Amino acid sequence: MRRGPPRDLLAKLWGGPPELTLGGVVLTVNGDGALVERRLAGGELACPGCGGVLGGWGHARPRPVRVLDRPDAGLVPRRSRCRQCGATHVLLPAWCLSRRADAGAVIGAALEAAAAGAGHRTIAAVLGRPASTVRGWLRRFAARAEEVRAFFTVLLARTSPDPVMPAAAAGPVAAAVSAIAGAAVAVAQRWPELGTVPVWTAASAASGGLLIAPGWPGQGRNTS
């Protein structure tokens, strides 16, 4: 840690680029626009490609993001351009997941329900989403559940001075969801000054927005 609790602490825990990203997206844990502008102006955001300083570069196309229990959020992602290599990157708040039309909390709610034994049709009805969409999330997550569990268990162990490992859970999906919740608690305890970081925001940040992206986390990466 360079200083205090970094706003993008979950990304920093992995020692990767200060703003973890893949696919041209830079994730900021606090998506608050004024803060992002200050960080851009202050040269605090680094290019994921070369480490150069990112400057403002207009905005991406507005898009709705579906959230829980509220009307869709209108997201107008800020774009940035690297002053060194010229690459452009979208700045995405961590309550979103990369390339997903639903906020992390929506997908997280589906995963929690699945961990508790609900099927995709039931979950889809409760969340008001198409069954095929929910089935897609659950399949994607289930396919990587053991890797996800390992990733967040390592994060939990590294974050907490006295880690309490999640209790045994019924099946790999439940175990992975339990590890995610445990890691979020450990982060909140270690950096109380961060305030509340919702579990699925923490999960999105830790995964660089890739929580249910293909191939994440890579096998063997960060799990030793």
CA distance 60 to 57: 9
Residue type, 105: A
Instruction: Please report how close the Cβ of residue 178 comes to Zn ion at its closest, in angstroms.
Output: 38
Instruction: Please report how close the Cβ of residue 57 comes to Zn ion at its closest, in angstroms.
Output: 12
Q: Which is nearer to Zn ion, 53 or 131 (CB)?
A: 53
Q: Which is nearer to Zn ion, 47 or 113 (CB)?
A: 47
Q: Which is nearer to Zn ion, 80 or 133 (CB)?
A: 80
Q: Which is nearer to Zn ion, 50 or 126 (CB)?
A: 50
Q: Between residue 9 and residue 28, which ones bind Zn ion under the rule CB under 5 A?
A: none
Tokens describing residue 206: 């830790």
Q: Which is nearer to Zn ion, 44 or 146 (CB)?
A: 44
Instruction: Please report how close the Cβ of residue 40 comes to Zn ion at its closest, in angstroms.
Output: 14
Instruction: Please report how close the Cβ of residue 47 comes to Zn ion at its closest, in angstroms.
Output: 3
Q: What is the 3-state secondary structure (H, E, C) of the chain?
A: CCCCCCCCHHHHHCCCCCCCCCCCEEEECCCCHHHHHHHHHCCCCECCCCCCEEEEEEECCCEEEECCCCCCEEECCEEEEECCCCCEEEEEECCCCCCCCECHHHHHHHHHHHHCCCCHHHHHHHHCCCHHHHHHHHHHHHHCHHHHHHHHHHHHHHHCCCCCCCCCCCCHHHHHHHHHHHHHHHHHHHCHHHCCCCHHHHHHHHCCCCCCCCCCCCCCCCCC
Instruction: Please report how close the Cβ of residue 88 comes to Zn ion at its closest, in angstroms.
Output: 10
CB contact at 8 A, 54 and 82: yes
Stretch that binds Zn ion, among 23-31, 74-82, 162-170, 187-195 (CB under 5 A): 74-82
Q: Between residue 78 and residue 107, which ones bind Zn ion under the rule CB under 5 A?
A: 82, 84-85, 87
Q: Total residues at the site for Zn ion (CB under 5 A)?
A: 8
Q: Which is nearer to Zn ion, 50 or 157 (CB)?
A: 50
CA distance 77 to 92: 6
Q: Between residue 35 and residue 54, which ones bind Zn ion under the rule CB under 5 A?
A: 47, 49-50, 52
Q: Between residue 119 and residue 178, which ones bind Zn ion under the rule CB under 5 A?
A: none
Instruction: Please report how close the Cβ of residue 34 comes to Zn ion at its closest, in angstroms.
Output: 24
Interacting residues toward Zn ion by CB under 5 A: 47, 49-50, 52, 82, 84-85, 87
